[in-house]
């Protein structure tokens, strides 16, 4: 096994010993670990406290950038849809994982597999009801306002939003 994946699995094992879920992740660039994370749901009331997201958040805060293109994630467990989305937003193009969501499902960590299945369904058939409420007639349009204020500089900063 690759040394970075070994570290991700080691983090997952350590996290279990401290009462957490079996997930660890490392963010790598140029053959170096830039940030690490473990699942912290046992420590904080924050559903975004997943290993991959925390590694991404730490790197972005440290490097003061939203652009992590060229970085690679090594995750002990297959990333959930939330962490996968964060990778897309951050421009990460490669992720390795060790244990697939099916393995997590088998031990009672069911959400990732369920959400992946949800995303395959048409909106109307999903468990989470999502209903559009359009703008009022004549109400200021946030999208159009943003577009009208867009400058070159803003464009560079917001291109992944």
* Gyration radius of the chain's alpha carbons: 18
Among the residue ranges 5-13, 44-52, 88-96, 129-137, the one whose residues contact Zn ion (CB under 5 A): 44-52
Is 50 one of the binding residues for Zn ion (CB under 5 A)? yes
**Which residue lies nearer to Zn ion by CB, 7 or 50?**
50
Q: Which candidate in 52, 102, 110, 140 is catalytic?
A: 52
Is 113 one of the binding residues for Zn ion (CB under 5 A)? no
User: Of the candidates 75, 147, 144, 77, which has an alpha carbon nearest to the alpha carbon of residue 112?
Assistant: 77
Q: What CA–CA distances, in Å, run from 71 to 28, 57, 88, 153?
A: 6, 13, 12, 24
| Catalytic status, residue 52 | yes
Number of residues that bind Zn ion (CB under 5 A): 4
Cα gap 43→47, rounded to integer Å = 11
Provide the minimum distance between the beta carbon of 83 and Zn ion in the complex, in angstroms, as a whole number: 3
Per CB under 5 A, which of residues 78..97 are in contact with Zn ion?
80, 82-83
């Amino acid at each position: 096994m690759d040394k970075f994946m070994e570290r991700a699995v080691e983090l997952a094992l350590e996290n279990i010993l401290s009462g957490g879920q079996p997930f660890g992740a490392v963010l790598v660039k140029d053959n170096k670990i830039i940030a690490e994370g473990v699942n912290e749901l046992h420590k904080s009331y924050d559903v975004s406290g997943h290993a991959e997201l925390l590694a991404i958040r730490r790197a972005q805060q440290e490097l003061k950038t939203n652009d992590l293109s060229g970085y690679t994630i090594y995750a002990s467990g297959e990333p959930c849809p939330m962490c996968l989305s964060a990778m897309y937003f951050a421009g990460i193009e490669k992720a390795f994982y060790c244990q697939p969501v099916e393995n997590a499902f088998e031990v009672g960590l069911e959400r990732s597999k369920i959400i992946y299945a949800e995303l395959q369904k048409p909106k109307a058939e999903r468990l989470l009801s999502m209903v559009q409420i359009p703008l009022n007639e004549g109400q200021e349009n946030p999208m159009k306002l943003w577009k009208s204020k867009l400058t070159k500089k803003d464009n560079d900063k917001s291109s992944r939003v």
